[in-house]
Chain A
């Protein structure tokens, strides 16, 4: 079945640094990828929708200059948390959409970001 690889799975960084998270669709081309964040015991919250070759569409309240999304190819999207602060500590998950007779959504395994 389709696989989405997300890397790294866990990252600890100092406040003020930037962190890049990669999301790859391993055996299919994903025209659309999604980025979410999840705080403990809360639901997934969609941050942005990323289409290959175009600018990402951000959800209301998500700072596009803070969370940089690049979708340079049909198999790779990256999320960069710039100038990270402790309040950015969260679980970040990506998903990739496989279009077909039935649209399917495959999730990465998530990245736990801890900002000290």
Chain B
């Protein structure tokens, strides 16, 4: 069983709408949790990074939240744009630095 579970697997929304992606993890203890955006055929690009003591972090229209008690994180995208169409990957790094990747959520923004 993967230690990092993301949901939904895929999501289609209309341009301008908001959406929230979920990441549940069992990795413990962990050093940090990151969200990446990966365009098809490209390397991932970092959106946010949070340590276990942080609850929220924003990067423009992207806001990540973290609940270390329930081991859940979410990525909220506001006022979506066509260019937001990509895969969003949650990565949890335990204290032994052995990164664990979620399978990603494939977001499609339609006009």
Q: Is the CB of A42 within 8 A of B43?
A: no
Write the B25-61 contact mask toward A (1 if CB under 8 angstroms, else 0).
0000000101010000111111001000000000000
Query: Which of A6, A42, A109 has the most B CB atoms < 10 Å from its CB?
Result: A109
Q: How many residues of B contact A (CB 8 A)?
A: 17
Q: Is the CB of A93 within 8 A of B43?
A: yes
Q: Is the CB of B46 within 8 A of A104?
A: yes
CB distance from A13 to the nearest CB of B (A): 18
Using Cβ atoms and an 8 Å threshold, which residues of chain B touch A43?
A: 89, 101-104
Q: In the complex, which residue of chain B has the Cβ closest to the Cβ of A94?
A: B43
Q: Looking at the complex, which one of B34, B36, B42, B106 makes contact with A109 (CB distance below 8 Å)? A: B42
A4 to B45, CA, bound (A): 11
Q: Is the CB of B101 within 8 A of A105?
A: no
A6 to B45, CA, bound (A): 14
Q: In the complex, which residue of chain A has the Cβ closest to the Cβ of B2?
A: A43
Number of A-B contacts (CB under 8 A): 39
Using Cβ atoms and an 8 Å threshold, which residues of chain A touch B79?
A: none
A116 within 8 A of B: no
A106 to B46, CA, bound (A): 8
Using Cβ atoms and an 8 Å threshold, which residues of chain A touch B89?
A: 43-44
Q: B86-106: which have CB < 8 Å to A?
A: 89, 99, 101-104, 106
Write the B50-89 contact mask toward A (1 if CB under 8 angstroms, else 0).
0000000000000000000000000000000000000001
Q: In the complex, which residue of chain B has the Cβ closest to the Cβ of A95?
A: B43
A58 within 8 A of B: no
Chain A residues proximal to chain B, CB less than 8 Å: 4, 6, 34, 41-46, 91, 93, 95, 102-110, 112
Interface CB pairs A-B, < 8 A, 16 = A4-B43, A6-B43, A34-B99, A42-B103, A43-B89, A43-B102, A44-B44, A44-B101, A45-B101, A91-B41, A93-B43, A104-B46, A105-B46, A107-B36, A107-B45, A107-B46
Chain B residues proximal to chain A, CB less than 8 Å: 32, 34, 36, 41-46, 49, 89, 99, 101-104, 106
